[in-house]
Amino acid sequence: MNGPRLALVADDPRLAGAVLAHLEKTLGLVLWQCSFEGIRRYPAPDADGLLLLASGSAADSEQVHRFVQEVYLQKLPIVLLVVETDGARAGHDLGRLDAYVARRLLWPRDSALLSQFVRERAARIPHATAVNEETIAETVRRRLLSQTPSLIPLVERIALAAHHDVTVLLTGETGTGKTFLARLLHDCSPRKSHPFMVVPCGAQPSNLLESAFFGHVRGAFTGADRPKVGKFEAAGQGTILLDEIDTISMEQQAGLLRVIETGEFEPVGSNETKSCQARIIVASNWDLEDAVQRGKFRQDLYYRLNVMSFHLPPLRERVQDVAPLVRGLAARFNTKFSKDLFDVGPRALEALENFPWPGNIRQLENIVQQAVLVSNGPELLFDHLPEQVRVHQPVARGFIAEPPRDSLVRNREALERNVIQRALAKNGYSRSRAASALGISRVTLYKKMKKYGMMRGPLQPEET
C-alpha cells in the first residue's frame, strides 16, 4: 500500500470513532485509520501528508511522544497534529512536543479548530484519502529509502527478482545487509504470507548441517532421541535464506544441488522422499566464482544459484546509506531505552559517515546503540559516540578534515552536505535531477559532492 496521505492514528477506538465521525460530518472526509503499531509500516522518507495522532489516556500520550520522536529522528516530511482529551493531558503532558508538531488540540473543545486545520491541509494534498495498491517496485523503493538508498538504482532488478520464483545469490562482506535484502525479496514476493527462514550455515557443526537442512528421524545418529523437521520442510511455501553458503563441504553441496534441481530430499536416517516447496536465496561472504576456480565450490551448483545475483558493497563505500541507517537505528533504540532524542547532531552524523566501518552495518548498529544509551538530551551528540569513533581522524579517500567543534563553517557545510544527500536520494541518485531540485548547475553539484567526499558510492548510475 501507498502510505496514507491523510490519516488518524489512535489506539482508543471510542476516541477514534468520535473524531472520524466529526470530520466526516463537518468536512465529508472519510479518513484512513490505524493503530500506532500499524502506522509504522507506512511513513517513508518521500511520503508527505498529515497524520492526526489521537491520545485518550496517559498510555496513548506515551505512544504519541515516541512516534513524534521517530518521525523527527528519521526526518520524515509528515505534518503531525495531536488531538488529546482532558484525561490524557492530565496524565501525560505533551507540552514538550509543541516544537515538533503543527498543533495540539483538546478534544472535544477544539473540534471546530480541528475541522479548520484538516480542511486547510487536505486542500494541499492531492487524493488525500486515497490508499492504493502500490507496485512491487514502489514497495522496494520505499523500503530501500529508509535503509539503503545506495541500492535505489537496482529497484527494478530487485523487484524482478522478488516477483519471479528464481534462486538469488547475494554476496558481500559480513554485516553489509544481505539478510535485510533477502527479507525484502521475500516480503515483496507472492510467498510473503509464508515463513521466511534463515539457516546460518557457518554456525552449524558440519556433521549436523544436513539435519538442519532436511531434518532427521529418531535414532538417525547419536543424540537423535526424537524426530526433527528440517528447514526445507518447515519453510513450506515460504523462503529459505542459506547464509554463508561458501562454508559447506563439497559433499553437502551435492545434496543441496539435488534439492534445487528436483525439489527432493530425504531426512537423515530415512528412506522417505519429501518435496521442498520453498524458494531458495543464498548468501556468501566470498566470491563464489573464485571459489569454483579454486576447486572449493561446485561449478554446477554455482550456476544453479546464480540465476540472479546482487553484490552489497561494504558500508565504507556507501556513505549515503549511513545517515538513514543511523536515524532509523537511533529511532529504534530511543524507544527501547525510553530516551528523549529528537535529532542526530550534524557533528555526530559526520563522524559516523567518516568512520570506515570494518564491521559494516552490524558494527554501526552496536555503536548507535551505545551512543543512544548514554545520551541525555534531545540531540544525539558527538560526545555521546564511543571513543573509537571520536578519535578517528580521516585523512584520505576524500574525507574532510574536521574543523573546530563550534565552527560556523563546519555547521554550514554539514547542513549543505545533508541537503545534497537528501536531494540525491529523492531523485534516484541522478545528479541532473538532484541539481535541478537544488537550483544549482550539475557542475556545481559535482564540485560540492567531490568536496564533501560523496563520490565514493559505486552504485550511483553513470549519466551522459
**What is the average pLDDT across 86-111?**
87
- pLDDT of amino acid 12: 93
Q: Are 84 and 63 a contacting pair, CB within 8 Å?
A: no
Structural domain spans, the chain: 6-124, 136-312, 316-451
Do 6-124 and 136-312 come out as alike in CATH topology?
Answer: yes
What is the CATH code for 6-124?
3.40.50.2300
Range in 161-170, 239-248, 341-350, 402-411 with the lowest mean pLDDT: 402-411
Segment holding 291, helix H or strand E: helix 288-293
Return the DSSP state at 268. Answer: B
Q: Give me the helix-helix angle, 319-336 and 360-374, nearest 10°.
A: 40
What would the mean pLDDT of 353-375 be, rounded to a whole number? 95
What DSSP line would sit under 10-69, residue for residue? -S-HHHHHHHHHHHHHHH----EEE-HHHHTTS--TT---EEEEEE-SHHHHHHHHHHHH
Listed range (74-78, 127-131, 254-258, 320-324) with the worst mean pLDDT:
127-131
Residue in the structure block whose three cell numbers are 525479496: 185
Residue 44 has pLDDT above 80, yes or no: no
pLDDT 10s digits, 372-405: 999 999 999 999 999 999 987 454 334 444 445 4
Residues in Cβ contact with 172 at an 8 Å cutoff, skipping those fewer than 6 apart: 178, 283, 285, 311, 312, 313, 314
Q: Residue 193, exposed/middle/buried by CB under 10 A (0-12, 13-18, 19+)?
A: exposed
Kindly list the distances between the CA atom of residue 281 and the CA atoms of 164, 167, 179, 256, in Å, as whole numbers in the listed order.
12, 6, 10, 12
Mean model confidence pLDDT for the chain: 85
Q: What single DSSP character describes residue 219?
A: T
Q: How confident is the model at residue 462 (pLDDT cuts 50, 70, 90)?
A: very low
Whether the pLDDT of residue 338 is over 90: the answer is yes
Per-residue model confidence (pLDDT) at position 412:
67
Inform me whether the pLDDT recorded for 49 exceeds 50: yes
Reported as a single tens digit per residue, the pLDDT across 346-357 is 999 999 999 999
CATH numeric code, 316-451: 1.10.8.60
- What's the confidence (pLDDT) of residue 335? 93
3-state SS class at 9: strand
Instruction: Say yes or no to pLDDT of 100 above 80.
Output: yes
pTM above 0.85, yes or no: no
- Per mean pLDDT, which range of 15-29, 268-282, 366-380, 395-409 is the poorest? 395-409
Residue 344 and residue 380 in contact, taking contact as beta carbons nearer than 8 Å: yes
CB-based burial label for 440 (10 Å; 0-12, 13-18, 19+): middle
Q: Given this structure, which CATH class describes domain 136-312?
A: alpha beta
